[in-house]
Structure 1
Amino acid sequence: RTNEHDADLAQTVPFEEDDKDPSVWFLDHNYIEGMNDMFKKVNAKEKLIGWYHSGPKLRASDLEINDLFKRYTPNPLLVIVDVQPKDVGVPTDAYFAVEEIKDDGTSTSKTFVHTPTTIEAEESEEIGVEHLLRDIRDVAAGTLSTRITSQLQSLQGLHLRLQDIGKYLQKVVDGDLPVNHTILGNLQDVFNLLPNLSAPKAVSKDLPSVNGMVNGSVGISGGLSENTELAKAMSVKTNDQLMSIYLSSLIRAITAFHDLIENKIQNKRQQEDDDARKEEADKKHEIEREEKLMLNGTSEKTEKESKEGEPKNDEEKNKKKR
C-alpha cells in the first residue's frame, strides 16, 4: 500500500539515559543488528521501519536516536506509546523526521511531523484479547463499578468522535476541506437513525379535512412541536434516573459525614485515654519519687542516730570499759 506501513512485531532494545543530562544516552545498536539478522533468517520480507519508546512525549534526544536508526532504514518511523493513557482513543503517536526550511535563509533544522496511525488486529487476535480482557478485572471494583466505568469510557469516546465530526463539518463550511458526499451520506444516515423526540405538530390547514376531522383526528391545535409518547417516556425515565443519582449522592454524603463524626469522636476518646494514662503515669512517678525521698530521709536519720550512739573517741571507750 502506498505511503502506508504495517508494523506487526516489536522488540525491546537495551537503552540507558542520564536522568540529569538527557543528551547522554546509550543504545546497543549491535543488539539491533543481531536481532535484525535473525529475523531475516525467519522472514526475509520483514524490514525494520522504525523505533518506539514510552514517552509519553517527545524527548530531547529523539532526533539523535532517530539519526542512528537511519543506518537500517532511510526514513525511520518514531512511535510514542502512552502506557498510562488518560483519554479514550489510540494511545500512540507516530512521527517522521523532516528537514525544516526557514524563511530567513538560515540553515535547515530537523523536526518531527505527526503522521496518523491506527491499531488493528486479525479476527483471531481480537477474540483472544477480548477473552483475556474479560478475565482481567480490578479486584477492588465490583460489577456495578466496572459497568459504570465502561459506560463512562464509551461516552467519552463518543464525545471525542462527535467533536471530530463537528470540526470536519466546520472546515467543510469554511471551505478548508472539499465536500465529500460519501461522508455526508454516512452522517445523514446516522442522524436518520436517531429517534425524533420532538416531532413537528401538524397544522390543520395543511392537512385534508373530511367532515370536520383533520387527518383522522379531531381538535388538532396549532404550534411548532409537540411532545410525543417517546419524548414523555424518555423524560420520565431520565427524571427517575436523576432522582436515583440525587438520592445516592445524598446518602453517600450523609454516610461520609457520619464517618467523619465517628472518626472525630474516636480521636477525642483516644486523646482522652492518652491524657488519662499520661496523668496516671505522672502520679505514679510522683508517688515513687516521694517514697524514695522518704526512704532516703529515714535511712539518713537512722545513720545519724547510730553515729551519735557510738563513743566519740578512745577515752569514752575506756570509761565504758571501767
Structure 2
Amino acid sequence: MGGSTVLHLPSGPAGVIAKLHPTVLFNICDSYIRRNDQQERVIGTLLGSVSTDGTVEIRNSYTVPHNESSDQVAVDIDYHRSMFELHQRVNPKEVVVGWYSTSSGVSGSDALIQDFYAREVTNPVHLTVDTTFSDETASIKAYVSTILSLGERQLAAQFHEIQLDLRLLEAERIGFDLLKKTMVEKLPNDLEGLEQSIGRLQNMIEVVFRYVDDVVEGRIPPDNSIGRYLAETISMVPKIAPEAFDRLFNDSIQDLLLVLYLANLTRTQLALAEKLNTAAQIL
C-alpha cells in the first residue's frame, strides 16, 4: 500500500459568499450586447474586495478580449493588466477577485481561464451570467475551484457553486426586473416605480404576517434567527402617528408631482424654442 497512487478529491471551500453589485451585472450585459458577431460569449475581470471572513464583494468589472475554440483558449493578458493598472489609479482599494463569462454554466475551457486568474489572485470567483434569458429569469451563479489531483499530478479544476447575494436598492431592483424582459415598451415613470415598490412591500408584509400566524398557531416550528431579524427590523421603524405619516407621505407625493410638472414644462419650452429657432432660420 505504501507505493499506491491516491486520487485526491478535495471538498469545496466552506462558507465562501460572493456579494454582487448591480453595476457589475449591467456592465456584463452591456459588454455582451457590444460583442463581435463571431463571439458566442464574452469574459472579463471582476474587481472588488475580500473581507477577513472570506466574503467576496464584487463592485466593478471590465471586459477582456479573448479567442476560444473547442480545445484551446487565448486571453489578452496585456490588455487585462493595462486595464487593471488604470482601475488602480482611480480606485486603488479594488483588487482582482475573479472573472466572469456570459454563459449558462461552466464549460470545458473555463478551467484554463480559471488557472490564469488563479495566478493573479488566490481562490478566484468565477461568475456566470446567462444573457439569453430564455426562461425570462436571470440565471446568475458563482463558483470557486479546487484542484483535482492524482498523486503529485494535477488533473483538472473542479468547480463548486457558492452562495451569491445580489445587493439591490429598490430603484436598482426595478431596473433589474426590466432587464430580465426581452422587450420593454416603455420605462416606468417615478409614480409607476413607486406603485411597484409599494406593491412589493405589501407582498412582503403579507408573507411576514402569514409566517407569524403559522408560528403562533403552532403550524410550523419557530426559528429564532428569523424572530431576531424581525425584531431588529421592527425596532428600526420610527414610531409615527398614522396622521403624521399620511401628511408626510402626501407632502412627498406633492413634491414629486411638482418636480414632474416643472420638468415637463421645461421640456415643452425647449421644444418650442427649438421649433421657433428652426423656423426663423428657414425664413
* Greater relative CO (CA pairs within 8 A, separation 6+): 2
What TM-score comes out, normalization by structure 2 length?
Answer: 0.43
- Structure with greater strand percent: 2
Asked which structure has the greater CA Rg, the reply is 1
- Structure with greater helix percent: 1
